[in-house]
Structure formats: C-alpha cells, structure tokens
Structure 1
Amino acid sequence: MPEPSPTSKRRGRLVRIGAAVAVLLALAGYLSVQYLTGGTGGPGCKVVSGKGDGASYEFTPEQGVNAATIAAVGTGRGMPERAVTIALATALQESGLHNIQHGDRDSLGLFQQRPSQGWGTPKEIMDPAYAAGIFYAHLAKVPGYTRLPLTVAAQRVQRSGFPQAYAKHEPDATLLAAALTGRAAATLTCQGRPGATRTTGPDAVRAALMRDFGRDVVQEAGAEVGDGGGSSPAPTPAGSSGTSDSSGTSDSSGTSDSSGTSDSSGTSGAGGRTVTLPVSAGTAAAGIGARQRGWQLAHWAVANASALHIDRVSYAGREWTAGITDSPWRSDGAGGAGGAERDAGAVRITTGR
C-alpha cells in the first residue's frame, strides 16, 4: 500500500487544524452569547410568576446580584415597583445586567451611562448602586412615567438610538421586579453553589446589605451592626446618588440611602453563621409593608448567594438551601408556614464561612 505523499500529509494536518480552530471559534462565540444574553451556563437562578401562569425567567448569579441592587436602590428611594421594572428592563437591554467596562463611545456600566454626558465619573458609573440611583433620579423627573409604556419611559431617560428596544424585556423585568421588591413571595431561587471570588461571611453579608439598602432601617429597628463573635462593625458604604440633567445611554445600579439591614450573627449548623434581619412595620421602606420587605431581603440574599457564600435563607416559615436541585423554597417546619406568614419576625441568612 503506497504511503501518503507529503502533500497529502500537509493537507490532512491543515484540515485537522482548521477543524480545531472552528471548534474553538464556535466555543468562543457560544460563551460570548451566553455572557451578553445572560445564559445559564454555570450556577443558575430563576424567577417565576407569583400568579401561577407558568411565566419564568432564568439568569446568572452575576445578573442576580445586579438586579437585586437595582431593586434595593429603587425601593430605598421610595420608587414604586413600576420604576424598578423600568430600570431592570433598561439594564437588560443596555448591558444584559452585566456591569461592563465598555460600550458605544464612552458608555459604561449596567445602564451604559456616559461620563461625557453628565452621568458621573467612570468610577461612579461603574458602581451599580450609584448608576441605579442616578437612573431613578432621572426617571423621577419624567412626568407620569408610571402611566407611560415602559419603552417610552425608559427612552426619555436613556435617549437611545433604538427607542423601541426596551419593550422586549418588559416580561422578564416584571417578574424580577415582583420578586426583588418582595411583592411575589418565594418566587426567586438560585442553585447557589458559592464561588470564592469575594470576601464571604457575616461581615461581608452585612456590608453588601448596607451597600444596597443603607443603614436607616437598621437604626430604626435598633439592630446592632456587628456580630456576637466580636467582629468589627461592617463599614458604611460610600453613598452616592447624584443627579444630572443631561442624558445618554445608561445603565447600572446605584446606592440608596434608606432601608437596610441587619444585624446580629450567631452560630448555626455545619459551622455556618447567621445574620438576622428584624422585619417590622418600622423597618419597611416607604410604600412597602413588613411582610413584603421581608421577602425583598430574603430574595436579595438568594440572588447574592453565590457571591457571598450564603448557604441558607429563611423567612416566614419558608427556607431556601443552596445546592438542592432547583433550590426551591420549602417549609422550614417551625410552627407551620401559615402562622409564620402572619408573624414573619426576621429574615435569617446563614453563611458557610
């Protein structure tokens, strides 16, 4: 049998190399699409409709952290759920709920806000809490924004070159807003397999809560910012919210100066530590009852589970546990869910370290 000629061997190598390059390009393209669209590769999160109509939206832990910040900042400013829906739809369109460091011209962050158009410094815009705060500041100036079609309200803030683009995100944003403002109970879950990219533990949870919600409610509730183990108090985040009267495309989320969180930590099973957030009429944000505030904090914790190594969240007789298939909210067996719903008491967030 004749041996293959050198030309045939070279051709074969080129074919194999070409095939390998094609596979790598396809993989790179897939990963890019997953990143930009919020695909569910890796640990996933899901929100479902509280109406039982089967509507749902799946997203990544990174998107969940940013969405929870946007919602917390909105309610902290006393903005209605509709405003949170508009903000989330805008961020979904502008950045896919990713805090990106690039965009059209000098656009940055969750809302693709432009420093040159008065939205803030690049550092400010890349702070999700600030970005959300300034988005809401602009939205609040739009007359009758709650009665406008979502895409119209968003466009009056953003002044995008694609004014109809926000509408397609309204269904997903509506589901997220209902869960992350606490109106739809036990509707947001995450797989919650923790990563090791951030500082974790009770202090990190408290710092993140104050970053998104602020200290006011903690003070009203008389909660201590510090844990029973003698750790130092969590730092106060640099609050920044700011207004601007120019526009450009935008996105990201910003700090809020109301509402907040928490408080004490103790030991719990498997070496975990628990942050307890008292929930009462006095700790609820403007326009939100105590039970709704509790579910907002509980869903916030689940959305941040991977980033903050949160293992368990319990509230109103229901409990979410990381790592369980689909991570559903289950009855915690403590006196029955019915009684707990009437007297919710506190949200408890247990960390793994």
Structure 2
Amino acid sequence: MSRSTRPRSCLGRLLVVVLGFGLLVTAVVVALRLADGSAPASNACLAPIEGDDMVLDAEQADNAALMSAVALHRELPARSVTIAVATAMQESQLRNIDYGDRDSVGLFQQRPSQGWGTVEQIMDPVYSTNAFYDVLVTIESWEDAEVTDAAQDVQRSAFPEAYAQHENRGRAFASALTGYSEAALVCELEPAEASADAVTAVRDRLARDFVEVAVQERAGHLLVDATSLPPGLEPAPARRGWAVAQWAVATAGVTGASVVVTDGQAWTRGAAEAAWRPLAEAELPSAVAEAAAAAAPGTVVIA
C-alpha cells in the first residue's frame, strides 16, 4: 500500500469507528429514556406525571393493571399500587419471570425458601400480588412511609435504595389505574380484528383481577358496572368507572380489546393518536356508541 493511500484508509476507519460509537451512544440514550419512563415507544402504554409521560410496555402495563385491581378489591389505597409497581419494576422489570437470584421467581422475585409459597403459587401473579399486599399491610405506618422504605420492609432486598428510581412510574400508573387521574392512561397498540374471543378474554380477566364485578354481555361488547366494586376510600361512581376503564386499556395488549368507553370519553385501539376522545369525536361501532350514550355513571363499555 502506498503512503498516499494509507492516511485516507486510516481516516476512513476512524470515521467508521466514530460513527459506530455515535450510533451506540444514541441507542444507549434511547434505551435509558425508555427504561426511566421518559420516552414513548410503539406498542406501549403511557401515564402522565408532573408533565412527563411514564412508559410501560404492554406486558408490564398488564401486570400493573392486575396490581391495581387486586388493591381495589381489597380496598387498599392508591399508595399500595405505587409501592407494588415500583417494587416489581426493580425486582423483575414488572414481568412474571420463572428465574432470579437463588430461588427467586415471579413478579416480586419471592423465594419459596423464605416462606412465600411454592414456585407454582408464586408464578401465579394473582397469588404473588396478594402475598405482597399481605405483608405490606402489616407494616406500621406503611401508607406514610417512603416508597423505598415500604418496599424494603416487605422485600428485605440487598439493594434497598434501588426501589426509589421507579417511584414516579409507580405513582403515574397507580393514579390512573385507581381512577384518580381521569382519561390519563393510554396505550399505543396495533389494530386488532373484532373477535368474540376478545370479549371472552376481557370477561375472564375482569373476574380474575377484580374478583367481584357486575358484567353484562351484549352483541360484541361488555357493559361493566364499576359501582359494583368495593367503594374503597372514594365511593364516587365516576372514579371507579375510570379505574375499570383504564384497567381495560392497560390489559388490551393481552385481551385484544379495541374500544373502551366511560364518562363520555372513548379510547380506540390503533387510532392515529393514542388519546381519550369525546364520544362525538370517536369512531365507534353503532351498538357500542348507543350503549355508551345510554350508560349510567360508573358504567364502562368494552368492545
């Protein structure tokens, strides 16, 4: 190789390295923003807090929705959901995994050897969520404690301060999923074809997550009477309606639900912009629109 071409070759290699490093840095930044909940992603769910959108993917949002439904059934405050979501984010990235440190498994990485139950029990997300709350409510003044302190009192982690990094995400989704933040939680999901299987899936999940809730099945949609849920700390029908409605959106990635309506607002799967819209602006099947227009306060229409 001549001397005249060697510098150009070296320069070319240097540019490749620099460009490659730049792409790597960009990818890392995007990944970190997604990890801390500050940037949206496709097939994801978003909930706002203090001007920022917190993000969970569809699987994570589905598990967060379960934690909220269990808390509502047990008449626990939204604070319990914040703590549960933040804890599970740290322990398992809010996924029901069958592996972990030593014999830890499940959403909260509970250990059979420490008395949390059998592996089969802990891998049942309903069981593990209830087990988490069973211990949480025994902690003195847990509702007023810092999230990281309450989580640590339950988990006994080797890294107790790590829970704090997930508090904002927990607060954002807890507020929406318990109905305090209305029309707040949205999911950006690909369109899904209408299916009787989706209606059945939603009905089965309602019974699993909320245990007792009044549901009527109509042609292609469900009418959910959210006022049949325990009143908890706030008996307002609209709040319970928003709790069920945003639960339905958060679980839609799993159930296949395409339309959720309550309190004159509608979320539709696959819309150009993920948002709640007034009924007059939403494109809904005629039967769903009629049911929504006639719905009493606290009623949720899911199709």
TM-score band (shorter)?
0.7 to 0.9
Where does residue 331 of structure 1 map in the other structure?
278
CA contact (8 A) 1:40 1:58 kept: yes
Residues of 1 paired with 2:117 and 2:73: CA distance? 20
Where does residue 299 of structure 1 map in the other structure?
246
Residues of 2 paired with 1:151 and 1:101: CA distance? 24
Where does residue 43 of structure 1 map in the other structure?
43
Question: Structure 1, residues 222-273: CA drift from partner, whole Å, max 9, x if none?
Answer: xxxxxxxxxxxxxxxxxxxxxxxxxxxxxxxxxxxxxxxx22222xxxxxx1
User: Partner amino acid for 1:287?
Assistant: L
CA contact (8 A) 2:216 2:224 kept: yes
Name the CA shift for 1:97/1:195 in 2 (closer, same or farther; >3 Å): farther
Pairing 1:286–2:282 present = no
Residues of 1 paired with 2:124 and 2:100: CA distance? 16
Name the CA shift for 1:184/1:107 in 2 (closer, same or farther; >3 Å): same
CA contact (8 A) 2:213 2:226 kept: no
Residues of 2 paired with 1:102 and 1:130: CA distance? 17
1:343: Cα distance to partner? 5.1
Name the CA shift for 1:205/1:159 in 2 (closer, same or farther; >3 Å): same
CA contact (8 A) 2:90 2:166 kept: yes
1:79: Cα distance to partner? 1.1
CA contact (8 A) 2:239 2:298 kept: no
Question: Structure 1, residues 119-152: CA drift from partner, whole Å, max 9, x if none?
Answer: 1111111111111100000001101101111111
Name the CA shift for 1:172/1:36 in 2 (closer, same or farther; >3 Å): closer
Identity of counterpart residues, as a percentage?
A: 40
Where does residue 67 of structure 2 map in the other structure?
70
Name the CA shift for 1:188/1:36 in 2 (closer, same or farther; >3 Å): closer
Where does residue 265 of structure 1 map in the other structure?
218
Q: Kindly tell me the number of residue pairs found equivalent between the two proteins.
A: 266
User: Partner amino acid for 2:234?
Assistant: I
Pairing 1:133–2:130 present = yes
Residues of 2 paired with 1:349 and 1:283: CA distance? 17
Where does residue 217 of structure 1 map in the other structure?
213
Which has a greater percent of helix?
2
CA contact (8 A) 1:64 1:304 kept: yes
Where does residue 288 of structure 2 map in the other structure?
none
1:42: Cα distance to partner? 4.4
Where does residue 183 of structure 2 map in the other structure?
186
Unaligned runs of 5+ in 2: 1-16, 282-292
CA contact (8 A) 1:71 1:180 kept: yes
Where does residue 284 of structure 2 map in the other structure?
none
* Map 1:1-353 → 2, pairs under 5 A: 42-49=42-49, 53-193=50-190, 200-214=197-211, 216-218=212-214, 262-266=215-219, 273-280=220-227, 282-289=228-235, 290-333=237-280, 344-350=297-303
Q: Secondary structure at the match of 2:72?
A: helix
Residues of 2 paired with 1:71 and 1:207: CA distance? 17
Q: Secondary structure at the match of 1:320?
A: strand
Residues of 2 paired with 1:106 and 1:37: CA distance? 27
Question: Structure 1, residues 314-348: CA drift from partner, whole Å, max 9, x if none?
Answer: 000000001113320000029xxxxx8x9524100
Residues of 2 paired with 1:164 and 1:175: CA distance? 20
1:308: Cα distance to partner? 1.2
Residues of 2 paired with 1:37 and 1:100: CA distance? 20
Q: CA RMSD in A?
A: 3.0
Residues of 2 paired with 1:200 and 1:35: CA distance? 32
**TM-score where L is the length of structure 2:** 0.79
Residues of 1 paired with 2:209 and 2:53: CA distance? 25
Residues of 1 paired with 2:181 and 2:136: CA distance? 24
Name the CA shift for 1:56/1:141 in 2 (closer, same or farther; >3 Å): same
Name the CA shift for 1:82/1:205 in 2 (closer, same or farther; >3 Å): same
Question: Structure 1, residues 147-185: CA drift from partner, whole Å, max 9, x if none?
Answer: 111111110000000011111111111001000111110
Name the CA shift for 1:292/1:203 in 2 (closer, same or farther; >3 Å): same
Residues of 1 paired with 2:71 and 2:180: CA distance? 14
CA contact (8 A) 1:194 1:305 kept: no
1:217: Cα distance to partner? 3.5
Tell which deviates more after alignment, 187-196 or 134-143.
187-196
Name the CA shift for 1:62/1:183 in 2 (closer, same or farther; >3 Å): same
CA contact (8 A) 1:180 1:296 kept: yes
**TM-score where L is the length of structure 1:** 0.68
CA contact (8 A) 2:42 2:189 kept: no
1:35: Cα distance to partner? 10
